[in-house]
Amino acid sequence: MIFPFSSFMFMLTLLLGSFLTVSSSSWFGMWIGLEINLLSFIPLILIKMNPLYSETALKYFLIQALGSTFIIMSSCLYLSLSFSISPLIITALLLKLGAAPFHFWFPHIMEGLSWPQAYILLSIQKLAPMYMLSHLHSHYFMIMASAILSALVGALGGLNVLSLRKIMAFSSINHMSWMLIAIFISDFMWLVYFIFYILISLSIVVFFNSFQSYYFSDLLNLSYSNPYFTLLLPLNLLSLGGLPPFTGFIPKWFMIQSMLMNEMIFPLVFLIFSALITLYYYLRILLPFILFLNPVLITNFKPFSLLSPAIISSFLLNIIGILLPIPFLF
């Protein structure tokens, strides 16, 4: 399901809300941007009137409204309890991001969305809260504790899940841990990681949306006679998991080097351990594609007959990491 033309205005205000937060010089302006962003996303969830979308929109509105309430509460406490302002704002932003330990709503909301809506939740909706959180990086303990918990929750939460949307949700929670720690290093570092993450997530969402795959069983019903399926999905998922030498390893490589230079050994152990677990449940998805592959003669191929330009672009995106060392060989 692609958004109809009537939703163009809501998409525009959704982006404008994020840009307003990023470009604002005051916390009040940032909060206004968050509210515009929220009120623009609700109609995009309700483009089809059915009970599932209505329930999802209501849940999302209540969670985001709770986070906004914490931000308003912090402004009310400015004169009497000024020391509590930053912890309240951090709690509100972590809640809006779906980072642990405030992650419980995120997989359930993802389960009730279509793939285009889910991608907006995974990408655009995280930009404004992450930017606001980058101004509060001095509170080391809260953000670092949330990053370690997000790494563990994102890794362990996806082990026994058969819904592809929930797997993407727990994967997002796991990647959130890397971005939270990147905030301590530099704004440039978390922005680079965020850009890589949304591009690789886009390649996977395009694949799942093209074949309308929402559960593990939907992947099993795909045609295994086409070898491109068995190539593209493993490439995308392994890149998202950060397995070298795919593209997804590049931002993690930068992060590992930066964390070692800043002597962040303790959180790095948790992040690498969680990345290995996420690769495990990605590989569980890929095994049927490998086991049920039927060898087909090259003469029987119809090259790219069932693949859209978007899927081909996602393939090229994820092999950048493989091609990157080639210029250094000459």
pLDDT in tens, 217-234: 887 776 555 566 667 777
| CB-count burial class (<10 Å; 0-12, 13-18, 19+) for 5 | exposed
pLDDT value of residue 125: 94
Tell me what percent of the chain is helix, strand and coil, each rounded to the nearest 5. Answer: 75, 0, 25
Q: What is the H or E stretch that residue 155 is in?
A: helix 140-156
- Residue 191's pLDDT is what? 93
* pLDDT tens readout for residues 68-116: 999 988 888 876 766 668 888 999 999 999 998 999 999 999 999 999 9
Confidence of residue 206 (pLDDT cuts 50, 70, 90): confident
Residue 57 · residue 45 · CB < 8 Å: yes
Stated pTM of the model: 0.90
Q: Among 205-209, 241-245, 275-279, 315-319, which is the least confidently predicted range?
A: 315-319
How confident is the model over 126-150, as a mean pLDDT? 89
Helix, strand, or coil here: 99? coil
Contact 267, 187 (CB under 8 A): no
Q: Distances in Å between the alpha carbon of 251 and those of 79, 123, 191, 198, 256?
A: 42, 16, 10, 12, 9
Of 29-43, 81-95, 270-284, least confident by mean pLDDT is: 81-95
Least Cα distance to 138 among 95, 180, 190, 184 occurs for: 184
Q: Which of 35-39, 98-102, 259-263, 306-310 has the least mean pLDDT?
A: 306-310
